[in-house]
Every structure is written in structure tokens, then in C-alpha cells.
């Protein structure tokens, strides 16, 4: 587990704060209470603005490890737009709107490795840099200028082991605001051992909120997480538009006798990073998960999850076995319990019971999320 000690507490500083909370039966708190209108979770107009916002910000699309080699690509929809991200021949990352310039057919599906992108409808072919390479029956298209019929690009950069795409004119730095304060979240030694996509009938923001507080550990996870952790004992930090929530395990107590600077927190706590607005990275005991929440409708979200080895660990068969076991336990227990709770909240959104949700002092990271979202939405250009 890598120490991130520039804009965030070091591992040693985190343990000191945890021990103080254990001793005094306290937890980190924020200064503000936030009232989020419930209609923001089911308003079609609000949802449309949130999707537009995702197009105007640099948003993580996938880990760099998903396309390590020339020609590797990932194709999926982001904020309702089909995109393809590819490792080009010069080693840089390129991103394009996944639509042939002839009739709009998608030129790539899922993941893979390609020398060219070839449209399966009429065979138009494109190089990895997006330029038009070939048109079958060329004589039938006398007015087509190759230079102006390449795949339509969108901005793509690599940062912190992630690939960010920005579809439209940026109105801010999104998750990049604050990332320069810390060392890399994902490192080149990490490898992906599994990935999947699922869809759930919940609003995307409800899932983000579930990652950002520890008030529910005892009541929601009485047999999965609570026996190993604490109820309402978290370290809450913000960096730029983003947050980190630390969930300690009870076994962290064995570090009390270790010098602060020598404390290794691997396996002693979970770090959850929220990258604004819709990505959560969890550094767990034996693996790291990257989950991207793609809004589909006000009541449905697609979750794209990558599971990776932890930073600094050798990619050995033994470590992979532990990582897969760790991921399996999470998927079978805590994740299912959180998902059930979020679905229940979703069902109650239109009940009329609440005009707003109240996020209190122990929900500082959720408050930060909604404040940042509200502030950034105000900067959206008018249609």
C-alpha cells in the first residue's frame, strides 16, 4: 500500500489519528450540515445537466493498465456517448467518438487489440491515430477528403495511472483538481485480474454516497465488516474536488508499538478515494478496485469495475490468489449489502416522506461531493 503524503495524511499520521479516535470514542467530523433536495435524485432536468457535466469535465474512463500495449483498446459509452480509447503506435493514448465517418456505425466493441479499426458495416478503416486508412469502392466517394474524415477525437490524458477523457469544451479540471497534491493513485506495477460491468436500478449519486461514510457499518454490515472494523470511526480528507475516506480495521491496534514512520498499514485499513464526480478507488487488504458509475437514467446506473493487484506487490500466483479471494469476499458480502441498501433508498425517493436528505457532520465527504457538484453545475454553458 503506497503512502500518499503530500496533500493527504501519511500512513503514520493516519494511524495516530485513528488511535486518538479509538481512545476517545470519536471520529472525524465536518463543519457543515448539507440539505440535498430529494428531487435532485429523480428530476429529469437535473439528470440531463449532470450528464452534460460529465461531458465537460475530464473524467476517468479506465485504468492505464487496461490498455498497456500498442493497439489495446477499450470501447464503451460514457455519459451516453460511445467512445473508444486506444494505445497508439507512439505509445500515447488517443480517444475518439466511436462512430464511423461514413454512416455512424461503431468501429470497435468491448476490449481488444487491433492494428486498425474497421467498420463492420461497409469496411471503412481507420489507423490507431484515428486517420482514415481505407475506403472500399473508393470510386463511389469522389468528394471525400481523407484528411477530414478520420475518427472524431476527444481529449485524452493519462494521470495517476488513469485515462481521463473530456468530450466537450472543459469547464473545470474535475478530478484533476487536487490530484497534483498527491502521489500516483495507481502505479505501473499494478495489473488487472478481472473486470466487469453491471447495471442497477439506482441513481448514480446514491452509490457514490454509500462509499463516503462509516455511519452505517454496524447496522448495514453486522456480520461482514463490523466484526473486523468500527462503527462510525473514519478519517475524512479532501483534496481539491476529491475525497479520501479511511476505514480502519480492529487489527490496526497491533501497530501501536511500531514507530510512526515505520507503520505499514497494508491490511490494517481501507482507503477509499472519491474522484469527482463518479469514480471510486478502494485500496483494500489484498487488492484495489476502480469503479466508474455511468448514469443511464434517473433510476439506473451502469457500474464498470476493474480489480487490480495492490501497488508495490509482486504479481505472483500467491498474491493473485489472495487478491481474488479478497475481491470475492467483498463482492459476496459488503458490496451486496450496500447495493441492497441503495436500492431500498431508491424505492423510497418518490414516497413523499422527504423533501431533502440531511447529511450531517460525520458525512463530511458527502457534503463535499454535493457542494462541489452544485458549484460545478452552475458553470455549465447554456444549450
Mean pLDDT of 249-259: 95
- The whole-angstrom separation of Cα 79 and Cα 53 is 9
Higher pLDDT, 175 or 319: 175
- The whole-angstrom separation of Cα 70 and Cα 87 is 5
Q: How many beta carbons lie within 10 A of that of residue 378, not counting itself? A: 9
H-helix or E-strand containing 196?
strand 192-200
Instruction: Note the pLDDT of residue 6.
Output: 53
Per cent of the chain over pLDDT 90 is: 89
Joined together, the cell numbers standing for residue 181 give: 497534491
Q: 143: buried, middle or exposed (CB in 10 Å: 19+, 13-18, 0-12)? A: exposed
**For 305-358, how does the pLDDT look when each residue is reduced to its tens digit (9 = 90+)?**
999 999 988 778 888 888 898 888 888 888 899 999 999 999 999 999 999 999
- Is pLDDT above 60 for 63? yes
**For 29-56, how does the pLDDT look when each residue is reduced to its tens digit (9 = 90+)?**
999 999 999 999 999 999 999 999 999 9
Task: Look up the CATH architecture of domain 61-169.
Answer: 3-layer Sandwich (2.102)
User: pLDDT grade, residue 4 (50/70/90)?
Assistant: very low
DSSP conformational letter for 379: T
DSSP conformational letter for 223: T
DSSP conformational letter for 249: B
Mean pLDDT of 207-229: 94
Instruction: Note the pLDDT of residue 173.
Output: 94
- Is pLDDT above 90 for 364? yes
- The whole-angstrom separation of Cα 122 and Cα 111 is 21
CATH code linked to domain 11-56+176-377:
3.90.380.10
- Is pLDDT above 60 for 5? no
Helical ranges in 139-244 per DSSP H: 204-210, 217-220
Instruction: Note the pLDDT of residue 331.
Output: 83
Bridge-based pairing of strands 356-359 and 235-239 is: unpaired
- Is pLDDT above 70 for 177? yes
Instruction: Note the pLDDT of residue 315.
Output: 78
H-helix or E-strand containing 28?
none
Task: Check if the beta carbon of residue 341 is closer than 8 Å to that of residue 210.
Answer: yes
Helical ranges in the chain per DSSP H: 11-24, 44-55, 204-210, 217-220, 317-332, 334-348, 364-377
Bridge-based pairing of strands 81-87 and 72-78 is: antiparallel
- The whole-angstrom separation of Cα 350 and Cα 328 is 34
Entry field: residues in the chain: 383
Mean pLDDT of 157-176: 96
Bridge-based pairing of strands 125-126 and 117-118 is: antiparallel
Axis-axis angle for helices 334-348, 317-332 (nearest 10): 30
User: pLDDT grade, residue 3 (50/70/90)?
Assistant: very low
- Is pLDDT above 90 for 7? no
Peptide bond into 31 cis (omega under 30): no
The domain limits of the chain are: 11-56+176-377, 61-169
Using alpha carbons only, give the angle 245, 16, 313 rounded to the nearest 5 degrees.
60
Per cent of the chain over pLDDT 70 is: 98
Task: Check if the beta carbon of residue 98 is closer than 8 Å to that of residue 76.
Answer: no
Beta partners for residue 59, in sequence order: 165
Q: What is the mean pLDDT of the chain?
A: 94
Amino acid at each position: 500500500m503506497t503512502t500518499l503524503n503530500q496533500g493527504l495524511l501519511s500512513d503514520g499520521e493516519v494511524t495516530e489519528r485513528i488511535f486518538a479516535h479509538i481512545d476517545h470514542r470519536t471520529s472525524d467530523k465536518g463543519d457543515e450540515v448539507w440539505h440535498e433536495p430529494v428531487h435532485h435524485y429523480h428530476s429529469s432536468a437535473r439528470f440531463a445537466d449532470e450528464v452534460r457535466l460529465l461531458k465537460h469535465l475530464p473524467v476517468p474512463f479506465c485504468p492505464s493498465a487496461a490498455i498497456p500495449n500498442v493497439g489495446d483498446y477499450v470501447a464503451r459509452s460514457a455519459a451516453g456517448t460511445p467512445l473508444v480509447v486506444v494505445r497508439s503506435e507512439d505509445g500515447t493514448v488517443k480517444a475518439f467518438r466511436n462512430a464511423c465517418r461514413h454512416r455512424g456505425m461503431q468501429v470497435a466493441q468491448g476490449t481488444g487489440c487491433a492494428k486498425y479499426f474497421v467498420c463492420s458495416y461497409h469496411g471503412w478503416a481507420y489507423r490507431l491515430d484515428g486517420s482514415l486508412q481505407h475506403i472500399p469502392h473508393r470510386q463511389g466517394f469522389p468528394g471525400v477528403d481523407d484528411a477530414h474524415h478520420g475518427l472524431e477525437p476527444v481529449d485524452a490524458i493519462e494521470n495517476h495511472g488513469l485515462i481521463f477523457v473530456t468530450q466537450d469544451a472543459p469547464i473545470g479540471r474535475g478530478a484533476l483538481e487536487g490530484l497534483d497534491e498527491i502521489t500516483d493513485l495507481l502505479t505501473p506495477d499494478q495489473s488487472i485480474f478481472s473486470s466487469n460491468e453491471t447495471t442497477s436500478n439506482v441513481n448514480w449519486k446514491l452509490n457514490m454516497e454509500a462509499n463516503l461514510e462509516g455511519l452505517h457499518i454496524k447496522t448495514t454490515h453486522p456480520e461482514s465488516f463490523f466484526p473486523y472494523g468500527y462503527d462510525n470511526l473514519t478519517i475524512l480528507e479532501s483534496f481539491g474536488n476529491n475525497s479520501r475516506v479511511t476505514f480502519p480495521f480492529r487489527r490496526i491496534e497491533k501497530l501501536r508499538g511500531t514507530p510512526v514512520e515505520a507503520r505499514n498499514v497494508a491490511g490494517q485499513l481501507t482507503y477509499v478515494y472519491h474522484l469527482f464526480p463518479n469514480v471510486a478507488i478502494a485500496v483494500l487488504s489484498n487488492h484495489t478496485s476502480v469503479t466508474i458509475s455511468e448514469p443511464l437514467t434517473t433510476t439506473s446506473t451502469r457500474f464498470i469495475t476493474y480489480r487490480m493487484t495492490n501497488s508495490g506487490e509482486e504479481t505472483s500466483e500467491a498474491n493473485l490468489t489472495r487478491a481474488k479471494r479478497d475481491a470475492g469476499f467483498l463482492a459476496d458480502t459488503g458490496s451486496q449489502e450496500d447495493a441492497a441498501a441503495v436500492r431500498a433508498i431508491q424505492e423510497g425517493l418518490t414516497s413523499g416522506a422527504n423533501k431533502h436528505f440531511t447529511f450531517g457532520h460525520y458525512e463530511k465527504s458527502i457534503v463535499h461531493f454535493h457542494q462541489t457538484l452544485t458549484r460545478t453545475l452552475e458553470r455549465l454553458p447554456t444549450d
